[in-house]
């Protein structure tokens, strides 16, 4: 650990001297260190959630992190970018972390990304939201090859009223060793699992018009890989070229997959419908948004009532030092199409696609990466399970969440989060009594004008409730950012 810290420190000093970086454009470095201390069984919820997995459920932890980045120059027709972001950690799931390592190209509106990069969800506020349901910033990035239109781009002949954005990606999960070690052979786990993602979004509105609407669909799939059972049984899930087509165009698996994958859709398929309505009036911004989550066929269309979803309100106020932005969200996942699931059989030909069991799957270890849920963290991640099971034990919940942010003085910023949730467990293993959880965060940032590029933050958080216990803690972060070239 000491050797790693020394290497990273030397790396930062070399960056300050610029060196070879003078031949690149727009390149910058960023380094930070963070220390968490507290009491209770776990690190408080909002000190470890929505930090792209660079956090730990084990209390009294720390990390040091350094990276160099060259962002895409959006105003140019052709541009390139890259990033390398490394971390050394104490009491994390691993001591050395490759947080980001990617290269990307851009030509006009089209982009190509290769590697692992922190990608923020466009429909939720990354600082104030509880997190999107399909893809939030809660888990470590997944290495992938992504062809995409990353920003809304006007569609020709629409006079810039209609815009499009979309992605197609294939990648691979990197938590093989973590899953094996975490389960300790007591429960099922999977390795060498592949990843697929696709999305299409449209936006209606012009810069000169105060009202805009955007929406669309995103879908993700876990497929391929090897499933390991406690009794030693091993199940190889196919990953031939035809299987890539089967997940690109969702369809049933081949004869080499289990019967359930043949009758339904191959892989762990999930996704969301999104809708956002925004109104701008001078310095005011008001936005309403809704995300409807689905798994496989059930709840994707209108066969069942859309009772579950993330309902949000975001308000950005005029220049106001005390309160700059406010977010309120209500998350409901209690319905899940109902409590009954049945595949069609010769005896009973009716098929009922309910009992969705959000984020869990019959073969894979669920919608998680390195123990952290890839979707909304209020569906408590498997990393909290002390029985070594990679399973979301409470995915039926109703939660309320509030986030606020403000800039009370020059160089000062604060953020506060409050979440309250009621949990019913799962349909398969319900709680005998409803469990409650309350999590709070208060965070202050200082960026001194005399110390350009430096930022200091102090965060205090606590949990009260039945689900993850009573926890209290604080996080101190020191961050330095500087440009190598401009």
Q: Write out pLDDT tens, residues 224-240.
A: 999 999 999 999 999 89
Read off the pLDDT of each residue in 286-291 and give the average, rounded to a whole number. Answer: 97
Helix ranges (H only) for 205-278 are: 241-248, 259-263
Q: Mean pLDDT lowest for which of 166-170, 255-259, 285-289, 379-383?
A: 255-259
pLDDT for 11? 45
Model confidence at 303: pLDDT above 70: no
307 vs 196, which has greater pLDDT?
A: 196
Tokens 């401009």 locate to 486
| Band of residue 287 on the pLDDT scale cut at 50, 70, 90 | very high
Query: What is residue 253's predicted lDDT score, i.e. its pLDDT?
Result: 76
In the prediction, which pLDDT does 344 show?
A: 58
Tell me how far apart the alpha carbons of residues 272 and 199 are, in angstroms, rounded to a whole number.
9
Residue 300 burial (C-beta neighbours within 10 Å; 0-12, 13-18, 19+): buried
Question: The dihedral of CA 38, 41, 45, 50: what is its sign?
Answer: positive
Calpha distance 404→127 (Å, rounded) = 9
Gap between the Cα atoms of 152 and 163, Å rounded: 5
Cα–Cα distance measured from residue 249 to residue 254, given in angstroms and rounded to the nearest whole number: 14
pLDDT per residue as tens digits for the range 239-254:
899 999 999 998 887 7
Compute the half-sphere exposure of residue 309: CA atoms within 13 Å on the CB side of its CA: 15
Give the pLDDT of residue 207: 85
Query: Looking at the predicted structure, is the pLDDT value of residue 18 above 70?
Result: no
- What value, to the nearest 5°, has the Cα angle with vertex 76 and ends 74 and 79? 80
Asked whether the predicted pLDDT for residue 23 surpasses 60, the reply is no
CB 125 within 8 A of CB 314: yes
pLDDT value at residue 13 = 45
Average pLDDT taken over every residue of the chain: 90
pLDDT of the residue at 21: 39
Average pLDDT (277-295) is 93
> Tens digits of per-residue pLDDT, 105-128?
999 999 999 999 999 988 999 999
What percentage of the chain reaches a pLDDT higher than 70? 89
Say how far apart CA 36 and CA 16 lie, in whole Å: 28
What distance in Å separates the CA atoms of residue 445 and residue 33, rounded to the nearest whole number?
14
């Amino acid at each position: 650990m000491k050797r790693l810290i020394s290497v990273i420190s030397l790396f930062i000093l070399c960056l300050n001297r610029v060196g070879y970086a003078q031949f690149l454009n727009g390149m910058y470095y960023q380094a930070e260190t963070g220390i968490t201390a507290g009491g209770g069984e776990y690190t408080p919820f909002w000190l470890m959630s929505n930090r792209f997995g660079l956090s730990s459920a084990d209390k009294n932890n720390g990390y040091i992190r350094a990276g160099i980045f060259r962002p895409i120059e959006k105003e140019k027709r052709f541009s390139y970018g890259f990033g390398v972001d490394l971390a050394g950690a104490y009491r994390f799931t691993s001591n050395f972390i490759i947080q980001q390592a990617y290269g990307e190209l851009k030509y006009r509106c089209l982009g190509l990304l290769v590697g692992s990069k922190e990608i923020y969800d466009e429909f939720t506020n990354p600082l104030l939201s509880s997190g999107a349901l399909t893809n939030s910033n809660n888990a470590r990035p997944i290495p992938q090859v992504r062809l995409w239109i990353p920003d809304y781009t006007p569609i020709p002949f629409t006079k810039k009223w209609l815009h499009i954005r979309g992605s197609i990606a294939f990648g691979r999960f990197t938590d093989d060793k973590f899953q094996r070690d975490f389960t300790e052979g007591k429960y099922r786990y999977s390795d060498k699992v592949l990843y697929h993602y696709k999305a299409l979004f449209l936006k209606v509105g012009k810069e000169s018009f105060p009202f805009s609407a955007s929406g669309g669909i995103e879908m993700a799939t876990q497929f391929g890989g090897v499933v390991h059972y406690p009794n030693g049984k091993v199940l190889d899930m196919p990953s031939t070229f035809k299987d890539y087509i089967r997940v690109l165009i969702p369809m049933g698996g081949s004869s080499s997959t289990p019967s359930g994958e043949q009758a339904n859709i191959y892989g762990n398929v999930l996704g969301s419908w999104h809708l956002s309505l925004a109104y701008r009036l001078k310095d005011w911004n008001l936005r309403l948004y809704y995300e409807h989550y689905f798994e496989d066929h059930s709840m994707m269309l209108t066969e069942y009532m859309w009772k579950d979803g993330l309902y949000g309100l975001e308000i950005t106020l005029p220049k106001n030092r005390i309160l700059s932005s406010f977010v309120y969200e209500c998350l409901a996942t209690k319905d899940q199409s109902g409590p009954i699931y049945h595949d069609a059989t010769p005896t009973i030909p009716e098929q009922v696609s309910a009992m969705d069991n959000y984020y869990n799957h019959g073969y894979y270890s669920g919608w998680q990466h390195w123990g952290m849920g890839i979707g909304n963290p209020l569906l408590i991640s498997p990393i909290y399970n002390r029985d070594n099971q990679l399973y979301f034990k409470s995915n039926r919940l109703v939660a309320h969440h509030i986030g606020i942010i403000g800039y009370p003085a020059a160089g000062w910023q604060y953020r506060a989060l409050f979440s309250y949730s009621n949990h019913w467990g799962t349909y398969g293993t319900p709680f005998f009594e409803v469990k409650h959880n309350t999590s709070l965060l208060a965070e202050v940032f200082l960026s001194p004008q005399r110390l350009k590029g430096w930022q200091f933050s102090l965060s205090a958080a606590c949990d009260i409730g039945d689900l993850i216990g009573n926890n209290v803690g604080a996080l101190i972060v020191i961050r330095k950012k500087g440009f190598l070239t401009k």
